[in-house]
Amino acid sequence: MKRLELPLALAMAAVLALPAAPVHASVNSYRFLHVTIDTPWHIFLFLMMGIFAPFILMVVLMWRNSARKRDLASGKSRGPATPSSSPPPPQA
């Protein structure tokens, strides 16, 4: 049991010494974040991807669905178009 007491005491001492460390003073500073003139552009591009990605996906899905409907109207089929194209279930 004594083998565990020393590492536990060292770990507790390290945790208790963290608030006294001067490193925490720099966390509240803007210098810690390395804010430059390019930072607003990086934020803008990141948010633009997150906002426009669903719209791009929506356009692709609408285009795919319209192509599928066009093929059904002309009589062509690329595969099972709707779930109703499967055979009906057996009746008892």
Q: Give domain status of residue 12, yes or no.
A: no
The confidence score (pLDDT) of residue 26 equals 54
Residue 37 lies in a domain: yes
Assigned domain for 5 exists = no
Structure tokens at 55: 């719209």
Q: How many domains does the chain have?
A: 1
Q: Does residue 82 lie in a domain region?
A: no
Instruction: State how far the Cα of 70 lies from the Cα of 28, in Å rounded to an integer.
Output: 59
Give the tokens for residue 56: 């791009």
pLDDT (tens digit per residue) in 58-87: 999 999 999 888 888 887 766 555 555 666
Q: What is the pLDDT of residues 8-48, one digit of tens each?
A: 777 777 766 666 556 555 555 556 567 788 888 888 888 88
pLDDT at residue 12 in the model:
74
Q: Is residue 33 part of a domain?
A: yes
Q: Is residue 7 part of a domain?
A: no
The whole-angstrom separation of Cα 73 and Cα 88 is 22
What per-residue confidence (pLDDT) applies to 64? Answer: 93
Exposure string of 1-23, with b = 16+ CB inside 10 Å and e = fewer, is eeeeeeeeeeeeeeeeeeeeeee
64 is in which domain, residue-wise? 28-73
